[in-house]
Structure 1
């Protein structure tokens, strides 16, 4: 019975074939595979990550399928429903844990963390930065491990200012710049609370590009629906005329139209250009329930 249950996963693995690029192999959360909505599988070259969002009664059968499909790779399991960190299921090699994007690499951390250091879903945002970073001074809010900063600088950005409350994440972000041979005089790492740093950030501007990619809910420190308007009210003052803004939200409870209304109410000088959603690896019944990245220009 379990063979039939997991056949969509087996078929997807066979369909995709081998690859070195970081990718989502199976996106059950997209709602297209009945009974498998709680399963996601990612590949980072030598590492496979299986993430469960609720308990799976046939977990051994699922992991056996993954193990047989990826004979040489390390396999990790994360039970997000139990708020457990990433755990090794089977180790095959001691190679470094990295995500590859074109000729850039990012270090990953599979030790107990809920997030391993690289988000696959914002691929279209990475492509936007590849085309729109050259010569720009960019502010990267909620920068986490600074992957978007690395991409911007590798594609000609003049300077990037990264801001995140987690100094540990920023430390990993700095390491990502180092391993990609980026001139550190072009980048800053500020361990600040964005909501308490508007004055400082305005003084560091004006910026030609601003990335806002906050967590949906970070306990008491950030709540998307309540705190996003606070940022939008202040961000225009940080921007040079004609600057672009990448305004991201990843919540099924906040639609593209909701974000547009929020911007229209709190940042009247911004002009909507386009919206992107999760990358092609993320098959979704309702794209708007996943990542939304709205591009605006400051008038």
Structure 2
């Protein structure tokens, strides 16, 4: 775990939430199970396999030493989460976690919950996608599918969007999304629809057309969305939902599905869309095989 310890020793105390160490990318052989994230003022260490108390003690010592250098006199707050064999255990290792826990990213404020669940309320690997949307949202009608806690909606409105339609099956996630909008004192130009996307096309269409559509689904969620079966159903709807020259971000976080999968789906279901670029992931999320990492693909309507 030397690479993880080295990353801890080089950490900076910044205000923005970000990933510090990304073993999952395979750049550090033998340390693929580790990740470390900064959700100020809390460090969140995650292991995707069982680790020893000795290893956790080493991490504790490294974090404590670095924190004393970065913030003398301030308490160290850190959480450890183990995800192994379908089970998740989360432990507060030192200090405390604020409640509510608000974090900052690129000038936006979000609620997170690092002590429960595997998804903490903000996907750090999508930071560049949010930055892209903020730049492309001015005066646009934006559709945010699989909106989760509506981070895309927050930045779209910060970027001057005319309206954002957020759609997600989880009412609880959308409720957090509404709180995120209030936290950022945004204009009342967002709608929050807690519906099954595949049963809501009529309502979605009536609120269109859209200048920008973001599709960021789970890769596999039984009973909700399976990328290999359902993604093409979304893509097939895009020509009717997009304005002429409208933009779409197709996102996919499934290591087993590469960019060719999305290109083939678009070619079959929406051949009028033109591929523009693949957005780079944040540098911290470097992967030895980019085809296995998060894919954020920008297409534009004819």
Q: Choose the corresponding residue for 2:297, options 289, 294, 298.
A: 294
State how 1:135-154 maps to structure 2 within 5 Å: 135-154=139-158
Deviates more, 1:90-99 or 1:231-240: 90-99
Distance in 2 (alpha carbons) for counterparts of 1:271 and 1:61: 50
> Residues 203, 47 of structure 1: CA spacing in aligned structure 2 closer, same or farther, 3 A cutoff?
same
> Residues 192, 208 of structure 1: CA spacing in aligned structure 2 closer, same or farther, 3 A cutoff?
same
Count of matched residue pairs: 293
Distance in 2 (alpha carbons) for counterparts of 1:123 and 1:210: 17
Residue matched to 1:198:
201
Q: How far apart are residue 162 of structure 1 and its match? A: 0.3
1:226 aligns with 2:229: yes
Deviates more, 1:92-101 or 1:120-129: 92-101
1:117 aligns with 2:121: yes
Residue matched to 2:95:
91
> Residues 13, 59 of structure 1: CA spacing in aligned structure 2 closer, same or farther, 3 A cutoff?
closer
Q: CA offsets, 1:30-71, max 9 Å, x none?
A: 101111100000001201111111112333333443344335
Distance in 2 (alpha carbons) for counterparts of 1:233 and 1:43: 38
Residue matched to 1:134:
138
State how 1:34-53 maps to structure 2 within 5 Å: 34-53=29-48
Distance in 2 (alpha carbons) for counterparts of 1:162 and 1:231: 15
1:283 aligns with 2:278: no
1:69 aligns with 2:66: yes
What TM-score do the two structures reach when normalised by structure 2? 0.92
Contact preservation (8 Å) 2:5, 2:59: no
Residue matched to 1:3:
none
Distance in 2 (alpha carbons) for counterparts of 1:215 and 1:280: 22
What TM-score do the two structures reach when normalised by structure 1? 0.93
Contact preservation (8 Å) 1:277, 1:288: no
Residue matched to 1:260:
263
Contact preservation (8 Å) 1:86, 1:114: no
Q: Choose the corresponding residue for 1:17, options 7, 12, 21.
A: 12
Contact preservation (8 Å) 1:277, 1:287: no
Contact preservation (8 Å) 1:277, 1:290: no
Deviates more, 1:133-142 or 1:86-95: 86-95
Contact preservation (8 Å) 2:34, 2:47: yes
Q: How far apart are residue 118 of structure 1 and its match? A: 0.2
Q: How far apart are residue 107 of structure 1 and its match? A: 0.7
Distance in 1 (alpha carbons) for counterparts of 2:29 and 2:283: 20
Q: How far apart are residue 247 of structure 1 and its match? A: 0.5
Distance in 2 (alpha carbons) for counterparts of 1:151 and 1:251: 25
Structure 2 runs not aligned, ≥5 long: 69-74
Structure 1 runs not aligned, ≥5 long: 1-5
Cα RMSD of the aligned pairs, angstroms, is 1.6
Distance in 1 (alpha carbons) for counterparts of 2:38 and 2:270: 39
Name the SS of the counterpart of 1:80 in structure 2. strand
